[in-house]
Amino acid sequence: MVIVNYFSIMISVIILGSGNVATHLFKAFNKADKITVKQWFSRTQHSIEQFKDKVEITNNYDDLKEADVYILAVSDDAIHEVSAKLTVTNKFIVHTSGAMTLHEMDKKNDRGVFYPLQTFSKDVEMDFANVPFCLEVENKSNMQILNSLCEAIGSKYYRVNSEQRSSLHLAAVFVNNFVNQLYRTAHEITESTSVDFNILKPLIIETAKKIENLSPYRAQTGPAKRHDKKTIKKHMKLLQNDQHKEIYDLLTKVIQRTHGKKL
């Protein structure tokens, strides 16, 4: 049996999808010496029209070419539908979801997962050195292709099974999506008294930096942990929005339970 080192040759890729992840993957792959994007598929072709001078684009499943790997960078709800409509068979197909198992895809092809654990926005540039990938394959021989894709764009990668990936994705919702909503809540609070939200940004950055060396448990500070009853009562009185009151009360109680104190 001959083992192919994919990183020593060009890897051909077809991207399916036109969202944030698909767009950033295309930009990273397009810059990589060892990767060629043969096609970019989107059901709404106009959404990737701006890239037609850099890559062949299509919205027709019947036009899909041969490639080493087909990457379904589509919404979780669309994974099964898109994989079922693929006209290619016995090829290597991966999705980029953190929540879905590889069995979400049609079994007519070899299946895998190529999950970038990061937050993506189309108008924010991404350094893929800061994008760890969680990889899973049905056929072990395909793992080298995914490893080599990551190496070609400078990303770290980890072999993670479906259960572990689901746990990571859930944790990511807490540290990213929920935290960002708290930023929005803080923004609403500062706006209510015409205070510049930017004053809080050094605190936001320092809070994130602390957990590089401390566990979140040890890094916790604030009135809830200190059990500062007067401050907590004052904060609750200052909050005019009922939703903000609910968030403050819930998180205060959670912190105090975590650190062994009660309201």
**What angle do the packed helices 179-192 and 242-258 form, to 10 degrees?**
130
Which residues of the chain fall short of a pLDDT of 50? 1-4, 6-7, 263
Q: Where are the alpha helices (DSSP H) in the chain?
A: 20-31, 79-85, 143-152, 162-172, 179-192, 201-210, 216-219, 223-226, 229-238, 242-258
What is the rounded CA–CA span in Å between residue 24 and residue 169? 19
Q: Dig out the tokens for 18 from the structure.
A: 């036109």
Please state the pTM of the whole predicted model. Answer: 0.86
> So what's the pLDDT on residue 261?
57
> So what's the pLDDT on residue 260?
84
* 6-160 shares its CATH topology with 166-258: no
CATH class of 166-258: mainly alpha
> So what's the pLDDT on residue 46?
87
SS3 247: helix
Q: Dig out the tokens for 67 from the structure.
A: 């490639």
Q: Dig out the tokens for 167 from the structure.
A: 């746990």
Q: Dig out the tokens for 9 from the structure.
A: 């040759």
Kindly tell me the number of DSSP H helices and DSSP E strands found in the chain.
10, 8
For the chain, the structural domain boundaries read 6-160, 166-258
Annotation: CATH topology of 6-160: Rossmann fold (3.40.50)
> So what's the pLDDT on residue 2?
43
What is the rounded CA–CA span in Å between residue 74 and residue 18? 7
Residue type, 236: M
